């Protein structure tokens, strides 16, 4: 079958779909980081529950609730209130000795709250497969440079707008920012006071470290998405350039052995062939690995 630009676009779209169905190293890494995030989120939620409800018991909340004096929050301020052991040099009769001492450990979560809300980028990580199922591109939540500037600027930002509308449509993702906290499954009911007036305490170094890891893991998860995005568009860019050189579907099969031309809606056209040895080699390698691991 001869190719024209319409058919090349169809082939490129199908190639991208197949790539996203393939368990690449980048996809494995994203899945691992998402799994770690979910584990830390559960652990952190238990810590925060204990932190809140050691201050306000069930009876207190029931009384306040009766008068409409409770609210639901999914982000929290806190301070550390524990001592940590550390080595300290001292001199005894002129001889230096190292002893273990306990000193207060201070960290104020006021500037960076313990938050169970997720921004759009984190939502794209957590619900990557749901995005694909709904024909949405989670990669547009990365920065444009990560996409290798694959689309023209206007097209890229149009897609960003469409994906943002998808995320904010019908409260589809209840953990996202700017949504009523009572819809977030990780929100907690607490007295309805100004946020900074509530004095929650983290009383254990281990729990404090878990909360710090939870906060950091969000960005680690996002960086995994960015790496996956870069690799995806690197492969798609190579394929797009190669398709410019293809005259027929037989040329496509030189690098994509199991390509099925039946997906195409024929529309006759012509193209000019180019020297594409390097691009063919890279594409062959990807599809050979994919088939070998299928």
State residue 245's pLDDT score.
93
Largest CA distance in the chain: 96
Report if pTM > 0.95: no
Say how far apart CA 74 and CA 117 lie, in whole Å: 6
The 10 Å Cβ neighbour count of residue 35 is 11
Q: What pLDDT is recorded for position 277?
A: 57
Residue 285 is predicted with a pLDDT of 77
SS3 96: strand
Listed in sequence order, the DSSP H helices in 108-267 are: 120-126, 128-133, 153-167, 205-243, 249-253
Average pLDDT for consecutive 10-residue bins of the chain (294 residues)? 90 92 94 98 94 81 84 84 72 73 69 87 96 93 90 91 88 78 83 66 89 95 97 94 92 88 58 47 76 74
Q: Which of 221, 230, 232 is nearest to 143 (CA)?
A: 230
CA distance 208 to 266: 61
pLDDT score, position 66: 84
pLDDT of residue 181: 59
Q: Give the distance from CA 70 to its chain's centroid.
A: 32
pLDDT of residue 230: 96
Is 214:44 a contact under the CB 8 Å cutoff? yes
């Amino acid at each position: 079958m001869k190719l024209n630009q319409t058919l090349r676009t169809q082939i490129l779209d199908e190639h991208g779909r197949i790539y996203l169905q393939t368990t690449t190293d980048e996809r494995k890494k994203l899945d691992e980081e998402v799994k770690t995030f979910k584990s830390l989120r559960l652990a952190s939620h238990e810590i925060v529950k204990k932190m809140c409800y050691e201050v306000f018991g069930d009876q207190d909340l029931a009384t306040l609730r009766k008068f409409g004096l409770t609210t639901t929050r999914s982000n929290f301020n806190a301070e550390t209130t524990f001592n940590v052991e550390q080595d300290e040099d001292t001199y005894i009769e002129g001889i230096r000795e190292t002893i273990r001492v306990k000193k207060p450990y201070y960290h104020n979560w006021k500037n960076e709250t313990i938050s169970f809300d997720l921004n759009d980028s984190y939502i794209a990580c957590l619900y990557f497969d749901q995005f694909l199922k709904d024909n949405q591109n989670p990669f547009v939540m990365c920065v444009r440079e990560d996409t290798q500037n694959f689309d023209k600027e206007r097209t890229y930002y149009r897609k960003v707008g469409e994906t943002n509308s998808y995320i904010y449509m019908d409260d589809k993702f209840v953990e996202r920012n700017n949504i009523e906290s009572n819809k977030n499954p990780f929100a907690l009911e607490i007295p309805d006071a100004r946020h900074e007036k509530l004095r929650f305490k983290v009383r254990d170094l281990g729990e404090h470290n878990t909360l710090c890891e939870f906060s950091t893991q969000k960005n680690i998860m996002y960086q995994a998405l960015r790496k996956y995005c870069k690799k995806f568009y690197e492969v798609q860019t190579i394929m797009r350039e190669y398709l410019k050189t293809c005259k027929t579907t037989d040329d496509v099969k030189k690098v994509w052995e199991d390509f099925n031309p039946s997906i195409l809606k024929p529309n006759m056209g012509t193209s000019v062939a180019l020297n594409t040895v390097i691009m063919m080699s890279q594409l062959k390698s990807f599809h050979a690995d994919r088939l070998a691991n299928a």
